[in-house]
Structure 1
Amino acid sequence: MSRPKLLKLPDVLEEIDMSRAAFYRMRARGKAPRLIKLPNGQLRCRRDDLDAWWSSMEETAA
């Protein structure tokens, strides 16, 4: 079984076209995609979690 694709935060921000500050505000409200904090403090997002978040945003907007 292959490991899930982990995206760096700058890649996530570019894909969703959002500033870091706006993303952290959304994250504080519990509305951002799920992130993983690595032992070195860096944040990653699983591709599956980002895709699920996109789907939930589409359902909310509809």
Structure 2
Amino acid sequence: MARPEMLKLPEVLAEIKMSRAAFYRMRARGQAPRLRKMPNGQLRVSRVDLDAWWDECGDAAA
């Protein structure tokens, strides 16, 4: 089984066209995709989690 693609936070922010501050506000409200902290302290978002989050955003708008 292949490992899921893990995106760096700046890559995620660029893809969703959102500032870091806005992302962290959404995260505080529990509305952001799941972040994973790597052993080196860097933050990552799995592609699967990001795609699922996009789908939830589309469902909420409908």
CA RMSD of aligned residues (A): 0.5
TM-score, normalised via structure 2 length: 0.97
Question: Percent identity of the aligned residues?
Answer: 71
Runs of 4+ in 1 over 3 A off after TM superposition: none
In the alignment, structure 1 segments of 5+ residues that lack a partner are: none
In the alignment, structure 2 segments of 5+ residues that lack a partner are: none
TM superposition shift of 1:6: 0.2
Which amino acid in structure 1 is aligned with residue 11 of structure 2?
D
Q: How many residues align?
A: 62
Which amino acid in structure 2 is aligned with residue 34 of structure 1?
R
Question: What secondary structure, in the 3-state scheme, does the structure 1 residue paired with 2:31 have?
Answer: coil
Equivalent in the alignment of 1:8: 8
What CA distance in whole angstroms lies between the structure 1 residues aligned with 2:5 and 2:52?
A: 14
